């Protein structure tokens, strides 16, 4: 699982049949300290999220499994919200 910030929504004029009705969002991956980490990605939203939300996302085969139809060409999916983050240096344990 990875962390990201939703930075936008994407509207596709053509969609793969198994992805009809699945929202596409632009996410900016972030590191443990909240800094941008890598390029902006397109992710399917398995939850109701939008620009400004901090989210958890998965990649690879597991991303497709988060969609209503599991055999779809998806590389990234948003699966949860981040309600509160603890900076890496403040973690206990």
CATH number where 73 lies: 2.40.50.220
92 lies in a domain? no
Per-residue confidence of the chain (93 residues) as pLDDT tens digits? 899 999 999 998 888 999 999 999 999 999 988 899 999 999 999 999 999 999 999 999 999 999 888 889 999 999 999 987 655 544 444
DSSP SS3 for 26:
strand
Overall pTM surpassing 0.75 (yes/no): yes
DSSP bridge partners of 3: 30, 56
- Check residue 85 and give its pLDDT: 62
What is the domain count for the chain?
1
φ/ψ (deg, to 5) at 7 = -115, -5
Q: What is the pLDDT, as a whole number, of residue 33?
A: 85
Q: Is 48 among the domain residues?
A: yes
Determine the Cα–Cα distance for residues 51 and 35; give it in Å rounded to an integer. Answer: 17
Predicted local distance difference test score (pLDDT) of residue 27: 98
Give backbone dihedrals phi and psi of 89, rounded to 5 degrees, phi first.
Answer: -75, -10
93 located within any domain: no
Q: Which two three-digit tokens encode residue 8?
A: 């936008």
| 49: containing domain | 2-87
| Domain-embedded: residue 81 | yes
């Amino acid at each position: 699982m990875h962390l990201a910030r939703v930075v936008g929504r994407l509207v596709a004029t053509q969609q793969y049949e198994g992805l009809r009705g699945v929202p596409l969002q632009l996410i900016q991956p972030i590191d443990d300290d909240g800094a941008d980490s890598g390029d902006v990605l397109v992710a399917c939203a398995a939850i109701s999220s939008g620009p400004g939300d901090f989210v958890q996302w998965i990649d690879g085969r597991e991303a497709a499994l988060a969609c209503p139809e599991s055999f779809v060409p998806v590389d990234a999916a948003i699966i949860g919200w981040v309600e509160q983050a603890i900076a890496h240096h403040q973690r206990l344990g």
